[in-house]
Amino acid sequence: MFSNKKIAVAMSGGVDSSYVAMFYKEAGAEVFGITGLMTSDEASLEVVKNSKAVCDFLGIGHYVVDLSDSFEKEVIDYFKNSYQQGLTPNPCVVCNRKIKWGKLKDFAMNSLGADFFATGHYAKLQKEADGYKLYHAKDEKKDQLYVLCCLTQEDLDRTLFPMGDIDKNTAKQACLEKNLPCKNSKESQDICFIPRPDTTKKFLIRALGEKEGDFVDINTKKIRGKHSGFYLYTTGQRKGIGLSNPEPLYVTGTDACRNIVYVGLKNNLYTASLEICDVNIQQERYKNSEFRAMVKVRYNTTPKPARVITTGNTAKIFFDEPESSITPGQACAIYDEKNTFLIGGGWICKKI
């Protein structure tokens, strides 16, 4: 199927992308690696170095695309600005849409003449009568449909996801047997531009400074203490609040204009409905319609049953049972009612 086809593999130097490159080379395709240089720091340069080592080992070409300016504007600035506005961002979703399936894929297809763009994401892609559909990966623990919820039909066209049909251990073993230099690579960082031992809190303090404000009890409206900046807290957070109370306190929300962090009890975290903006629906039949679905409001949560109403570029979601820690700024992924494929997603803009 891929014989004589030119396939660009988005390379990070890790197991997943290395397996993908090896897989398509063994399938007879003309494979080359392409790596985006996202920042000028040591971590990014290490990604380029590791990617080149794998490509050299496989005997395939390797191209580096300097995307640092775009990454700074589209991802890092978005990250900082979101926190400054009282939102909790999801940089991976933005990076996928604007950088990987934006600048990187465009360069691979239009400048390097690739027939396909392949990545190491854990997802299954099928072309059906109503267009491309993303199905859950075989390895449920590695499934990445959530971070692909903002990809469009155009993005999915000529995209390949071979990792959807195998599990992580199989990929690791295959790379080990072939002695690929990626075999001991560490897993990706949660936020690639904040490498350990740095933290999001330290990053934000450097970027936005510290600004003393009040912790306010959501139930009594009384001031409970002081904090160093509302942008250092996110809805659902329990650790790091530093307030004594008979029952555990959680962050229930923030007020960016007044520099307030609201705290309350666990039951204050639950919300039955929300609205999402900048909605991306991958199949036409779900646009401007009402339907049952499974909805995921954070990467590390499970999808929950809900009624969804899509109108233009917004959608209202009504959960069967109240959901915890609805966080403005986070991505919200929508799956079909049986939770088999991705319908699309958007950005949580408010609770309703």
Catalytic residue numbers read: 95, 192
| DSSP code, position 3 | T
HSE-up of residue 180 (Cα within 13 Å, Cβ side)? 29
Residues with Cβ < 8 Å from 180, sequence gap 6 or more? 18, 22, 54, 57, 58
Q: How far is CA 17 from CA 168, 234, 268, in A?
A: 12, 32, 42
CA neighbor of 217 nearest in space, from 263, 279, 151, 270? 263
Residues with Cβ < 8 Å from 25, sequence gap 6 or more? 31, 58, 60
CA gap 20, 161 in Å, rounded: 8
* Residues shown for the chain: 352
Phi-psi region of 28 (alpha: psi -120 to 50; beta: other; left: phi over 0): left
Paired residues of 21 in beta bridges: none
CA gap 306, 343 in Å, rounded: 13
* Segment holding 155, helix H or strand E: helix 153-156
CA gap 8, 155 in Å, rounded: 14
Residue 230 is encoded by which pair of tokens?
A: 């509302």
| DSSP code, position 186 | P
Residues with Cβ < 8 Å from 97, sequence gap 6 or more? 150, 151, 155
